Amino acid sequence: MPASLEDQRFAQQKATVFHPISAEDKTAMAGLRAIAEPNKGRLRGTAARQPFDAIMEHVTVPKNVIFEAGIVGAVPGWWSKPKGAQPDAVVLHIHGGWFNWGSAKAYRNLVGHLAIHAGACAFSPDYRLAPEHPFPGAPQDVRACYAGLIELGYKKIAVTGDSAGGTLALGLLLSLAASQSDNKVVPVAGVALSPITDLSLSGTSWTTRAAADPYFIQLQAAELVRSYLNGADPIEPAVSPLRADLTGLPPIRIHVGNDEVLLDDSVRLVDRALAAGVDAQLDVWQGMVHGFLGSVGHLTASTRALQQIGSFLSERFTKTTAKRQAYRRTNQE
């Protein structure tokens, strides 16, 4: 039964956490902006793949993580295996890049940090990119990868993603929720970092944060989205998670910077999730821009966000184990 309007408002107030920016981070962000803003809106088309990957390759290398190329569910990708990882838990992380750029190899350092904090191995698939492989190629690959992790014996799977990867992560969770009776393993949680939840680009922050965002402009985003959709309707639920029925999603956490054009995509998604009865929380990081977690080691906010995400995921893994043990004890008595 849907929550009352009063209950929804109360839930929304409790479920949004604002993180103030530190003085040190404010100084660091000023330097980052000075470097980024001259190239604002210029990354376009397949020519942007190499420079985009080069940016992601500069993420600080995590310690005590082994990286291995692999194939899961017939989809190639990269494993991030931290020391002391839980043996039966895994994070499926879907990389960003506006559906046109990005690679699992380039994202391996960021995923490694996420894996360390979650206390679990992580796999990032090299899903097919547009324009060579438009929608629904990427969602199909992500779904195949999830099934592949189950075939490998994983019983506890968390799904995470950033930017376009956050879109695909939420899409996967929605697909699994819709076919719950057919699932051998239900995802324990979902985390999306600045997801693109509305591919019609109708969010108000495309205007209100246009000046604050040092990376993207709407014309640039529209070209990349059009390349991905290849004629598909951007308001279709299978395309834009914001348009879907969010009922049945596992607990989700959304992290977003306050100075990015995609802010409203996160705000609206969490509002709708709460209205659908989902355990959801929005973390808004003041003064932060798109992809700020990639500055781990340089920004306090990046480290804090990774710690909070890791705590959330490890808690969900632990709760799932406890539930299974209780179920087994009940059935043995």
Residue count (the chain): 333
Question: Annotated catalytic, 266?
Answer: no
Find the radius of gyration of the CA atoms of the chain. Answer: 19
Is 328's pLDDT higher than 60?
Answer: no
Of 260, 266, 295, 302, which one is the catalytic site residue?
260
Mean pLDDT of the chain: 93
Q: Which amino acid is at 170?
A: L
Q: Where are the domains of the chain?
A: 5-325
Of 19, 117, 290, 298, which one is the catalytic site residue?
290
**pLDDT given for residue 75 in this prediction:** 98
Residue 185 in contact with residue 88, Cβ under 8 Å?
Answer: no
Question: Annotated catalytic, 290?
Answer: yes
**pLDDT given for residue 5 in this prediction:** 47
Question: Annotated catalytic, 175?
Answer: no
Tokens 């796999």 belong to which residue? 123
In a 13 Å sphere around the CA of 196, the CA atoms on its Cβ side amount to 26
Residue 195 in contact with residue 174, Cβ under 8 Å?
Answer: no
pLDDT digits (tens, 9 = 90+) for 123-138: 999 999 999 999 999 9
Phi, psi (degrees; rounded to nearest 5) at 281: -145, 140
Pair type for strands 120-125 and 75-82: antiparallel
- Which fold would CATH assign to domain 5-325? Rossmann fold (3.40.50)
pLDDT digits (tens, 9 = 90+) for 184-219: 899 999 999 999 999 999 999 999 999 999 999 999
